[in-house]
Every structure is written in structure tokens, then in C-alpha cells.
Amino acid sequence: MAKAITSDPKVLKRYEGEIEEWSRLRHYWHRTKAAPTDFPCSPSSYWMMHGSKRFPLLSEIAEKLFTIPSSSAASERSWSIHDFIHTKRRNRLHATRVEKLVFVYSNIVATTSEPVRDNVADDMYPDAHDGDLGTSDDEDEANGNDAFDDEDEDEAMDTAEEHQADEEM
């Protein structure tokens, strides 16, 4: 892995030295059942707090490794957003412009206090919500704003019956 990062022999020697020292410490911790820190922490926390001091080269690699998502959901979401932005009609967008639009689309929720309609989710799950994004169905019913109540249903049935009667005549 170090060879892919650098071709400088001095830096490669430093990588090899850090890997050997880390390996020796791991075997020591395993053999003595000692923890590498006084308190339990996640591997990414360990590398951020302790690894960067003792193993500066390895900590850079560890940081990159621990930022990889553990599932493909984030990647799939990113591709869906890219597909939404780079459509057949907008196929002449340059890659840098698409990346900027994806960034804005993904982060607009963080900058606004209002709920934002997610068009990608709407395309993927059209029946996921039925109205205002700011309120839940329970809040709508409590406020008397039911999206489809009995009166609406009765009115729709009456209109349908009247229309059918007109057609029969």
C-alpha cells in the first residue's frame, strides 16, 4: 500500500518501520490482554487521538480507511442524485458543474430551516408522503387538516353518482 502512495525510498522505509512497530504493539496487546488506551474507544477515535502522534504515516491511511461507508447506501444515494441532475435534457453539463449541483442539492437541507422536497426520493418512492412535508399525518388530523376525510369521500361519491346518472340518460 505504501508503494502506491510514494516511490521515495526514505518514506517507504518510514512506512515499513511504522508498520513493524504497530505489528509488535498489536501482538503485545493481544498477548498481555492490555488495551492500547486507558478507556475503550472506536478504532477511528484511537487513530485520531493516539495514532497520529506515534504513527503519523499510518494514521493518514487509517483516517482514509475509516471514512469509507460501511454500506453502499451512501454511494447509491449519490448515484441517484447524479442521475436526477444529469438527465437526458441536461446532458451537456460538465463534470465540475454536475459535482457542484450535487453538492448543493445534497447540502441544501443543512442551510434551510424549512423542509425541502426531495425529488430523488419522490421519484423512487412516490407514495412515501401525501402532502405537506412540514407536518406529519398525526399533526394534520389533530389540526383538522386531514388530507382525505369522510366529507371529501362523501362529496366525491355524490359527484360520481351524479355523473353516472347523467351518462345513463
Give 13-26 pLDDT, tens digit per residue.
998 999 899 888 88
Which of the 8 DSSP states describes residue 113? S
Please tell me the pTM assigned to this model: 0.38
How many whole angstroms separate alpha carbon 127 and alpha carbon 118?
13
Helix, strand, or coil (residue 124): helix
What pLDDT, on the 0 to 100 scale, is given for residue 150? 47
What pLDDT, on the 0 to 100 scale, is given for residue 29? 78
- Indicate the domain borders of the chain: 2-66, 73-128
3-state helix, strand, coil in the chain (%, to 5): 65, 0, 35
In percent, how much of the chain has pLDDT > 90?
3
For residue 42, what pLDDT band results from cuts at 50, 70 and 90?
Answer: confident
Q: Is the pLDDT of residue 64 over 60?
A: yes
Quick check: 98 and 91 in contact, CB under 8 A? no
Q: Output phi, psi for 54, to 5 deg.
A: -90, -35
What pLDDT, on the 0 to 100 scale, is given for residue 149? 46
Q: Is the pLDDT of residue 136 over 50?
A: no
State how far the alpha carbon of 106 is from the alpha carbons of 89, 93, 98, 121, in Å.
21, 18, 12, 12
C-alpha cell of 17?
Answer: 518501520
Q: For residues 59-69, give the mean pLDDT.
A: 84
Q: Is the pLDDT of residue 92 over 80?
A: yes
More confident of the two residues 102 and 137: 102
Q: Is the pLDDT of residue 167 over 70?
A: no
Helix, strand, or coil (residue 94): coil
Quick check: 115 and 134 in contact, CB under 8 A? yes
